[in-house]
Amino acid sequence: MVCLSARLPCMIDYSDNAAMAQPVDLLILPRWIIPVQPAGMLVNHALAVKAGRIVDICPADEAPSRFAARETVELPEHALIPGLINLHTHAAMSLLRGFGDDMPLMAWLKDKIWPAEQAHVSADFVRDGSLLACAEMLSSGTTCFNDMYFFPGATADAAQDAGMRAVIGMVAMDFPTAYAADAEDYLNKGLAVRDRYKGEDRMSFTFAPHAPYTISDDALGRIGVLAEQLDVPVHIHLHETLDEIRDSLSRFNMRPLERIAAAGLLSPRLIAVHAVHLLDGEIETLAKFGCNLVHCPASNLKLASGLPAVKKWLDAGINLGIGTDGAASNNRLDMFAEMRLAALLAKGVAGDAAALPAARALEAATLGGARALGMESQTGSLTPGKWADMTAVNLGGLNTQPVFDPISHLVYVAGREQVSQVWVGGELKYAEGRLSSVNMSDLKARLAYWRDKLAP
């Protein structure tokens, strides 16, 4: 455990007028603040919020004289952490939770998921499924998610209704669906959604080609050009299974990573998901170009895709984020569970108990995701100037006692059931079992409708 300081000086200089208290909207006084950046923790400090942003962190006993808060929240047994960032989701697929379990990836897709999507996916399906996902994520401490799915405008609408920070994927593939006819149609529709949400501070976008095996070289090249012109990240599944790699070698005489490299997609904008089957040289290539990798441990295990060499990623200097994947392949959007599983699996695969320490796992689930999305100056850590995206975790219960190291507890002991409050941009979105922006009774009625419609 690293304590930054028992009495860290305030960031603001009050020496000229010690009697002048700064008006703020919110003052939070937890037992521990885990800022992530800088690493370590603060004990008995206060965090002040104004106009949705963190304005200062200072010793708790000095806060009353320095801030005139409209609201003060005391959390004497809690750790305050940055809101978790789920770096890979298919939010709307929450409606397919448990729909096709215990199947390998390609059989699961071809025999269960793709036929169900062809028959049922619509803007309404995506809006309702995404709102369900937002409700689950907010109540689990997640404040931002990076999505990839059809009808991205409906996902954006749901995220806006829930009050979450969302990164919406402009999905693209060669296959026609109810959403679009071909890759160009997908891209045009995605760009139109991006234009519609321009200026919304909680909404940003990626290009989201589904995977190398579902999109042509020409379309990948087009996305590479657009991503560079617009400075937009590219979010893609990559090297998820050995079958994917064998198919690519058979069809294109090259591995999937070689194809996206040829399309000009290797850059710090690339967010490559799963990356279970990378050769050592491929890890070096991704590191050289500053690419980002997303680890989805539960999904990889459930679909028997394999176990990635996460320690090798970190040793190479690759930025690591964590994602849940969709609820259809997980089956829960629980970033606390993913952090714990990621840390444990990394140790087991590497044979090294320090392969992914607790603090590094927490960083991957927060600031690592923000870095990948190009949002590290706005969120991902509890830093003055950033949006007040925050999660309070109650470590006062018997099943979290004794607390020697709160950071270790957040990864190895606590779960989403310990999340007590969640703020997005300083707005309280979840508190003690209640969501402020989601009508649960109405949502449950919609979910019952989809359950009956999807039932075999």
> What confidence tens digit (pLDDT) does each residue in 364-413 have?
999 999 999 999 999 999 999 999 999 999 999 999 999 999 999 999 99
Tokens in use for 48? 């002040």
In this structure, the number of other CB atoms found within 10 A of the CB of residue 264 comes to 15
Residues 158 and 275 in one domain: yes
Residue 41 within a domain: yes
Residues 91 and 229 in one domain: yes
Q: Report the alpha-carbon distance of residue 195 to residue 295 in Å, rounded.
A: 30
Residues 190 and 56 in one domain: no
Q: What pLDDT shows up at residue 356?
A: 98
Nearest to 79 by CA among 366, 357, 338: 366
Count of domains forming the chain: 2
**DSSP characters for 368-380?**
IHHHHTT-TTTSS
From 372, 401, 436, the end of a domain falls on: 372
Residues 182 and 288 in one domain: yes
Residues 284 and 326 in one domain: yes
Residues 229 and 254 in one domain: yes
Residue 177 within a domain: yes
Please, are residues 307 and 281 in contact by the beta-carbon 8 Å criterion? no
pLDDT digits (tens, 9 = 90+) for 41-51: 999 999 999 99
Q: What is the CATH number of the domain that holds 352?
A: 3.20.20.140
pLDDT of the chain, 456 residues: tens digit per residue:
445 543 344 444 444 444 589 999 999 999 999 999 999 999 999 999 999 999 999 999 999 999 999 999 999 999 999 999 999 999 999 999 999 899 888 888 899 998 999 999 999 999 999 999 999 999 999 999 999 999 999 999 999 999 999 999 999 999 999 999 999 999 999 999 999 999 999 999 999 999 999 999 999 999 999 999 999 999 999 999 999 999 999 999 999 999 999 999 999 999 999 999 999 999 999 999 999 999 999 999 999 999 999 999 999 999 999 999 999 999 999 999 999 999 999 999 999 999 999 999 999 999 999 999 999 999 999 999 999 999 999 999 999 999 999 999 999 999 999 999 999 999 999 998 999 999 999 999 999 999 999 987
Residue 307 within a domain: yes
Residues 253 and 354 in one domain: yes
Residue 214 within a domain: yes
Residues 397 and 323 in one domain: no
Q: Report the alpha-carbon distance of residue 161 to residue 275 in Å, rounded.
A: 33
Residue 211 within a domain: yes
Please, are residues 389 and 165 in contact by the beta-carbon 8 Å criterion? yes
Please, are residues 96 and 403 in contact by the beta-carbon 8 Å criterion? no
Residue linked to tokens 């590290």: 376
Residue 379 within a domain: no
Residues 409 and 367 in one domain: no
Tokens in use for 214? 């579902």
Residues 97 and 77 in one domain: no
Q: What is the CATH number of the domain that holds 51?
A: 2.30.40.10
Residue linked to tokens 């392969």: 355
Q: How many CA atoms lie within 13 A of 311 on its CB side?
A: 15
Q: What pLDDT shows up at residue 11?
A: 45
Residues 71 and 98 in one domain: no
Tokens in use for 167? 């990164």
Nearest to 297 by CA among 307, 288, 286: 307
Q: What pLDDT shows up at residue 4?
A: 58
pTM: 0.95
- Identify the domain containing residue 395 by its residue range: 3-82+386-425
Residue 431 within a domain: no
**DSSP characters for 232-255?**
--EEEEES--HHHHHHHHHHHSS-
Residue 444 within a domain: no
Residues 70 and 199 in one domain: no
